[in-house]
Structure 1
Amino acid sequence: MTMFSRSDRTILGRWFWTVDRTLLSLILALTAVGLIAVAAASPAAAQRLSGLTFKLGDFYFLKRQIMWVGVGMPLMIGVSMMSKPLIRRLAVLGTAACIAALIALPVLGAEVNGAVRWINLGGMQLQPSEFLKPMFIVTTAWILSSRFEDEAMPSFLVSGVLLALVGGLLIMQPDYGQTMLIAAIWVGQAFLAGLGLGAIGMVALAGVGVIALGYFISPHISSRIDRFFTGEGDTYQIDKALDALRAGGLFGTGPGEGQAKFSLPEPHTDYIFAVIGEEFGMIACLAVASLFLAVVIRVFTQLMEEDDPFVTLAAAGLAAQIGLQAFINMGVATSLLPSKGMTLPFISHGGSSFLALCVGTGMLLSLTRRSRFLKSSPFASQMRSAA
């Protein structure tokens, strides 16, 4: 029995019968997994931080995460009820606001671990780059989709300049990881919009150049890359993450029974995947990875028959953000990628990250709302050919 009848014409009724309930269920499942994972990681995180500022309770971070979920879920549902034109306006205005915040960071920002990425607002820290990601993705989708209405529009140039501006501001923090993530998503969107392989190759070379620049001018970046390729230097973080994963085996030590997590840096954020591995086992890790894969597959499958270029480019980009960010976080925790401070979507503790993901997912749910797909579309045929 459903909550709403098909004849229900209220706002909630129309939303329920047009929203992608499968995608929504996957997001809710990831959020539930996140609460369980933060509960497991919270005692270790609280113990590592207690004494530095004030005494934290064992479940301090779980209580905060529950608060963020309580704020973020209604926010996600509210955004998902917005119309496509409103989503587009929200993204453009949000991109402008986030760029302004990034410009103001050197003056208003607080330095943490050698990087200036956060603005202190009444006892909480706001990270503009987290909110920038979904806003930028939808904005560039709008710019790139304009070429399907007018081929003379310099869509690639305009969006490329915007990418360069955003990338430059992120590198100033410095934050090369977010820069590469956003650039990779833009390349994917541009390819779907018709950018040639030659131009994509040039963008890829530019990305390699940015990484090389970071390697030579940033000791922090060079040390991470050197540790990954040579195994020399301070490998404490990844060693402890691998210890936690080994301790869990296939089925884990059991909820609350993990001990390696107490030596793990950032167990509630960057390395929460290792905590899941220790207490719930490698099978649970594979299940979490499968949930992220299911989100991406669900979105791209639904988009195969989409007739609106803007919707396709925006939704594909938002799904790619979730998938790529999850891949990077899990890759770092398993020593498949160099260390990078990037959260596991919907699972890691964090206010800015979780709320920004809720906004982005709300946009994704809004853009994919429909009662049925159109069966014939030149753009849909083009997308199937590209796939």
Structure 2
Amino acid sequence: MTDYLRKEPQTSSMKARVEQQLGRASRSPIGAWFRDIDRVLLLIALLLIAIGLVAVAAASPASAERYSDASHHIPPMFYFWRQVLWVTLSIPVMLVVSMLPIKAARRLAIVGAAAFLVMLAAVPFIGVEVNGAHRWLGVGIAQFQPSEFLKPFFIVTIAWILSFRAKDEHLPVTVITLGMTAIVGVLLMLQPDFGQTMVFGLVWLILVLLSGVSPKMLALLGVMGLGGVVAAYFFYGTARARIDSFLFPDAAGNAADTYQMDMAHDVLTAGGITGRGPGAGTVKFRLPEAHTDYIFAVVGEEFGLIACAVIAILFFALVTRVFVRLLDEQDAFRVLAAAGLASQFGVQAMINIAVNIGIAPSKGMTLPFISYGGSSMIALSIGMGLLLAFTRRNPYLSRSSYKTGWKA
């Protein structure tokens, strides 16, 4: 009893110190950040990262066995330990970016968008080829995918340009951002990367709709989008092959193209509702890209469809949380930037899950925070850090104190 009484004041004082450092009374930068940050959004991001580590651990043996050969043996947990390294680097990056003031975060995004757009333009000429695609720059462990880093920076830059509509509705911001997105789309198609092109295009469309667009312009954008899909089918061989294999899987020559989708369906449903258990999956060993594009299917085999539903719900909760938090936000730039970044996570997750369950053709799209990948994890953490920065809210500022009308 005496020892307990001696420890209780120490525990109380420790608790008081934590409250003093992070509580409302704290004037330190970290205390201010902890007050202003959306802790629910941060928790969702950390949960997705934690689930991703478990998923990569489940998929790592299958991918290690597939990519090992007589001259090069890959340890079963190789990809898992590499992912642990990337997560260890990425979480501090996310937290540091989330602490940036709004103006600093915007400047970072604009400069980053310009720099990685130049790198993206260089990929078709000096990029590293992997599985027939030129999407990476660098050598060895220093390889990175410029399009992954460009996404969050480009989205914030587009949001900044569109936010000027609040000052002058006659500014041609829609045309300007359409041209910028088209340039990125052309550069991506040269790699080729049809999946990333869809992400950029869909997020741009969401931002344009949120910024306000006339019915005539909306109809024109619909026609242009349909025309782009038709043009891709007739003039872009990769897109035509994947669309044909998806729509006509039984046609001659298409059976081989549907192997990944068929295997993903088999792996996804092999575990039933509750899964076979951690490490007990066997069908995953026949699945290509088990640790990246088709990791959602591996989760289904080992942890069941319930676990897959949890992942989908978390992404839905992330997007919903952001849009609900923006309901009373009056700064046009912050609304568009945060909505665009949240849409990026939602669109990319939706495309990956759709491919894994067989309702969309294969696109080589990873599942955010879940799939293995170094540059992808760091780029996603930068995007999440920007999202946390733009959704920060002063707890002492009441809703009634906001000025009416958007301000750019």
**TM-score bin (small chain):** over 0.9
Match of 1:213 among 231, 236, 250: 231
2:8 alignment partner in structure 1: none
Q: 5 Å matches for 1:282-321? A: 282-321=305-344
Amino acid at match of 2:359: L
| TM-score normalised according to structure 2 size | 0.90
Partners in 1 of 2:46 and 2:306 — Cα distance? Answer: 20
Residues 116 and 173 in structure 1, CA contact (< 8 A), matched pair in contact too: yes
- SS class of match (2:137): strand
Match of 1:385 in 2: none
1:306·1:377 contact (CA, 8 Å) conserved in 2? Answer: no
Task: Check conservation: 2:90, 2:378, Cα contact below 8 A.
Answer: yes
Give the 3-state SS of the residue equivalent to 2:292 in structure 1.
coil
Listed one character per residue, the Cα deviations across residues 32-64 of structure 1 (whole Å, up to 9, x for unaligned) are 000000000000010000117621111000011
**Matching residue within 254, 271, 274 for 2:277:** 254
Q: Secondary structure at the match of 1:111?
A: strand
| Residues paired across the two proteins, number | 381
Aligned to 1:44: 62
Quote the residue 2:10 is aligned against. Answer: none
Structure 1 residue 220, shift from structure 2 partner:
2.3
Q: CA deviation at 1:116?
A: 1.1
Residue 113 in structure 1 maps to residue 131 in structure 2: yes
Contact 1:84/1:367 (8 A) holds in 2: yes
> CA offset at residue 328 of structure 1?
0.5
Structure 2 CA distance for aligned equivalents of residues 320 and 135 of structure 1 = 14
- Return the alpha-carbon distance in structure 2 between the equivalents of residues 276 and 109 of structure 1: 32
Q: How does 1:330-369 map to 2 (within 5 A)?
A: 330-369=353-392
Structure 1 unaligned runs (5+)? 383-387
Change (3 A) 1:315 1:263: same
Partner of 1:183: 201
**Mapped partners of 2:102, 2:244: distance in 1:** 45
| Distance (Å, rounded) in 1 between the aligned partners of 2:202 and 2:345 | 13
The C-alpha deviation readout for 1:161-210, integer Å capped at 9, x for no partner, is: 21121112112212222112111111111111111232123223222222
Deviates more, 1:264-273 or 1:121-130: 121-130
2:340 maps to 1:322: no
- Distance in 2 between the 1:268 and 1:178 partners? 19
Distance 1:167 1:116 in 2: 15
Q: Specify the code of the residue in structure 2 equivalent to 1:130.
A: E
Q: Distance in 1 between matches of 2:54 and 2:386?
A: 26
Where does residue 171 of structure 1 map in the other structure? 189
Contact map agreement 1:307 1:374 (CA 8 A) in 2 = no
Q: Which moved more, 1:195-204 or 1:157-166?
A: 195-204
More moved, 216-225 vs 28-37: 216-225
- Tell me the alpha carbon deviations over residues 51-103 of structure 1, each in whole angstroms, 9 at most, x when there is no partner: 17621111000011001100100000000000111111111111111110011
Other-structure match for 2:53: 35
Listed one character per residue, the Cα deviations across residues 287-328 of structure 1 (whole Å, up to 9, x for unaligned) are 110000000010000000101000000100000000110010
Does 244-253 or 143-152 show the bigger shift? Answer: 143-152
Amino acid at match of 1:307: Q
**Quick one: which of 180, 199, 203 aligns to 1:162?**
180
Find the counterpart in structure 1 of residue 107 from structure 2: 89
Q: Does the 8 Å CA contact 2:275/2:301 hold for their aligned counterparts?
A: yes
Where does residue 196 of structure 1 map in the other structure?
214
1:241 lines up with 2:259 in the alignment: no
Amino acid at match of 1:106: P
Q: Following the alignment from structure 2 to structure 1, what is the Cα–Cα distance between the partners of residues 221 and 330?
A: 28
Deviation string, structure 1 residues 224-256 (Cα, Å, up to 9, x no partner): 111211222222111111111221100000000
Q: Contact 1:142/1:310 (CA < 8 Å) preserved in 2?
A: yes
CA drift at 1:277: 0.2
Counterpart residue identity of residue 374, structure 1: R
Residue type of the alignment partner of 2:362: S
Structure possessing the higher radius of gyration over alpha carbons: 2
Q: In 2 relative to 1, CA 52–227 (structure 1 residues): closer, same or farther, beyond 3 Å?
A: farther
Structure 1 counterpart of 2:393: 370
Distance in 1 separating the partners of 2:66 and 2:174: 47
Please state whether the residue corresponding to 1:126 is helix, strand or coil.
Answer: coil
After TM superposition, give the deviation of residue 29 of structure 1 in Å: 0.3
**Unpaired segments ≥5 residues, structure 2:** 1-14
Which SS does the other structure have where 2:278 is aligned? coil
The letter for the 2-side match of 1:342 is M
Aligned-residue sequence identity (percent) comes to 48
Return the offset for 1:156. 1.5
Contact persistence 2:124–2:190 (CA under 8 A): no
Does residue 1:228 correspond to 2:251, yes or no?
Answer: no
Aligned position for 1:134:
152
Q: CA deviation at 1:379?
A: 4.1
When the two chains are superposed, the root-mean-square deviation of aligned CA atoms in Å is 1.6
Q: CA deviation at 1:219?
A: 2.8
* Bigger mean CA offset, 203-212 vs 32-41: 203-212
What is the aligned partner in structure 1 of residue 3 from structure 2? none
Is the 8 Å Cα contact of residues 176 and 214 (structure 1) preserved in structure 2? no
